[in-house]
Amino acid sequence: MSFFIEMLLKLFFLLSIIPFLLSEKLQKKYDMKINAQIEYTLFSGPKKVALVGEKFIEETSGMVVSRKNPSWIYVHNDSGGEPELYIIDTLGTYLGTLKIEGVNNRDWEDLAMGPGPIEGENYLYIGDIGDNFGRAEELIIYRIQEPDQLESEMSAKPEIIKLKYPDGPKDSETLLVDPISGDLFVLTKRESKNTLYKAAKDLLLDGNSVDLEKVLQLPITLSVGGDISADGSQVLIKNYWVIYYWTRKEGETLEETLSGKAVLLPYEPEPQGEAIAFEPEGETYFTLSEKKLRINPVLYRYDKTTDGD
């Protein structure tokens, strides 16, 4: 029995490093092809800000920068983690914990910031949208108002909004909330062309169960995170080795913007990089990986260049 357990542990270890090996191999194999297309005049980077060494921030999956205090970054772990948001600053220093009351972390995969029930207020949207085996009948969105001030230990009772795909369960890791329309979007992960689904703002009510609308297929696979700048004019979506970037024209819907051609931005491949976030003005984006192979994740920063203004 001990031999069997040992073999299982070895198999689990090998499976756990596949994303890291895949991203490294693909990045090297297609280095000339990908880097030839990357637009380096828009954002520079990467800049290594800091190692994030706290033991409780090990499987970072979602990240968003505060709108009330742009020096705060909210992050969370994925499946099986505590139902908590952790707050670090833009230098990577841990500041505090925000506990989400009365819920579980089934498979939290992304975090977004956007409008909500009270006009002019900012809300955090936690996406319990992961589903590795395609079995979940519903996705769950937890929504809380962004805190006014920072404390070392905080808690909040969330609104709970349930979502359902029109065409069966899917695995998703990217959640977007449009700051202009207030609509919510979920982007799937596993297909060769990931699919964008939408829930209209008016349906995002506490206790509601919403049927998602299928709106667009993107020429992207393995999408693991995304964000929209606070003014809605810039959009980021990433997979394990590429960051896609769109600029939005005035009057365009988000789906119209994403149907256009993306630009590839600079990215430092990470052991399992799933988290990405704009700072509110859209002048900087950050990335952060899960901890893999005993390597503490690095907070990377990419700044808009003068040529990109």
CB burial class (10 A; 0-12, 13-18, 19+) of residue 145? middle
| Structural domain includes residue 56 | yes
| pLDDT at residue 175, rounded to an integer | 98
| Structural domain includes residue 211 | yes
Query: Which candidate, 266, 288, 265, places its Cα nearest to that of 275?
Result: 288
| pLDDT at residue 55, rounded to an integer | 86
| pLDDT at residue 23, rounded to an integer | 47
| pLDDT at residue 33, rounded to an integer | 45
pLDDT in tens, 264-302: 998 988 888 899 999 999 999 999 998 876 778 899 999
Structure tokens at 71: 């020096």
* CATH number of 48's domain: 2.115.10
Could you write out the DSSP letters of every residue in 186-212?
EEE-SSSS-EEEEE-GGG--TT-EEE-
| Structural domain includes residue 4 | no
| Structural domain includes residue 245 | yes
| Structural domain includes residue 8 | no
Q: Which residues of the chain have pLDDT under 70?
A: 1-36, 293, 307-309
| Structural domain includes residue 302 | yes
* C-beta separation of 172 from 139 below 8 A: yes
| pLDDT at residue 1, rounded to an integer | 46
* Cα dihedral 203, 206, 207, 212 in deg (nearest 10): 30
Residue 163 structural domain: 20-308
**Domains identified in the chain, total number:** 1
| Structural domain includes residue 93 | yes
Measured in whole angstroms, how far is the alpha carbon of residue 164 from the centre of its chain? Answer: 20
* C-beta separation of 294 from 303 below 8 A: no
pLDDT in tens, 21-35: 454 444 444 443 445
| Structural domain includes residue 5 | no
